[in-house]
Amino acid sequence: MRIVTTLFTLILGAAAAAGVVWWVQQGRLDATQAQVAALQQEVRTQSTELLGYTRYTSYLTVGKESLSEQMKLLSATVVRDEGTTQIVEKSVLGLPSTGVVAISYTVEYAFGYDLRPENYDLKATDSGIEIHIARPRLVTAPAVTALRHRILSGGLFTDEKTAIIRLTQEAARRAQQQGEAMAREPAILALCEKSLTEFLYGFLSKQPGVQQVPRITVVYRNPA
């Protein structure tokens, strides 16, 4: 009888021990599965976030088309007051005569880039987005308005009125030359770059899934 009791006790002990081992192993398995699930969720979250930070690259082609469509609206407008003077000389029977006339006017200049698709490129780089393009230029002929004139000094034989008419007629040509020179000024470059990069940044940031748009810089094809 004692032998049977002892055997029964041993069997119960072994069963209990086996149950404990199974419970511990099951607990470890459940913990491992929970860790794996957490890691998988973390990977999915990080992948989604990473995709949001790089998603903008898939919209560069569409962004290029949008820039081309908005070419006229992306010009930088500058208004300046201009003027010039001219000395008018005439001699009659050896008697010299001198007069001085002046005109002033307002000129509106519009500068911008040639945004036809074949004339520039958008490139994704390690440091952001680069717009490879030619330098800005006058996009329309300067608009000359508010012409005014003065006769600063009248000569005895000089024709100041004719001189004023000639200066007025030449105002558009002078404004064109002035605008072409202004297109190379750092201030004009900065205005044009600001208009271009802000538009592209705004366009990309509004696209689905885009969480961040990197720095956008302009790289000139003709730096001189």
Q: How far apart are the first and last CA of the chain?
A: 110
Nearest Cα to 71, choosing from 103, 35, 111? 111
- Cα–Cα distance measured from residue 180 to residue 109, given in angstroms and rounded to the nearest whole number: 10
Residue-range domain boundaries for the chain:
2-55, 59-220
- The mean pLDDT of 165-173, rounded to a whole number, is 89
Q: How confident is the model at residue 111 (pLDDT cuts 50, 70, 90)?
A: very high
Name the least confident of 41-45, 191-195, 199-203: 41-45
pLDDT at 199 over 80: yes
How many angstroms separate the CA atoms of 176 and 179, rounded? Answer: 5
The per-residue pLDDT for 218 is 94
User: SS3 for 41?
Assistant: helix
User: Which pLDDT does position 42 carry in this prediction?
Assistant: 46
Type of residue at 149: H
39-43, 60-64, 120-124, 143-147: which has the minimum mean pLDDT?
A: 39-43
- Token pair for 113: 């880039």
For residues 212 and 128, give the distance between their C-alpha atoms in angstroms, rounded to a whole number. 11
Determine the pLDDT at residue 47.
37
Residues 68-106 pLDDT 10s: 777 667 888 999 999 888 877 776 767 777 888 888 999
Per-residue pLDDT tens over the stretch 8-49: 454 445 545 555 444 555 555 555 565 545 544 444 444 333
- Rounded CA gap, 42 and 35, in Å? 10
pLDDT at res. 208: 84
Mean pLDDT of the chain: 76
Q: What is the pLDDT of residue 217?
A: 93
Spatial separation of the C-alpha atoms in residues 140 and 35, rounded to whole Å: 65
Stretch 46-65: mean pLDDT:
57
Residue 137 above 90 pLDDT?
yes
For 178-189, what is each residue's pLDDT tens digit? 999 999 999 999
> What pLDDT score was predicted for residue 91?
65
Task: With a cut of 90, say whether residue 59 has pLDDT above it.
Answer: no
Total count of residues recorded for the chain: 224
- Residue 184: its pLDDT value, please? 92
Distance CA 189, CA 198 (A): 14
**Cα separation, 131 vs 50, whole angstroms:** 23
Residue reference for tokens 């010299």: 96
Give the integer Cα–Cα distance in Å for 85 and 147. 13
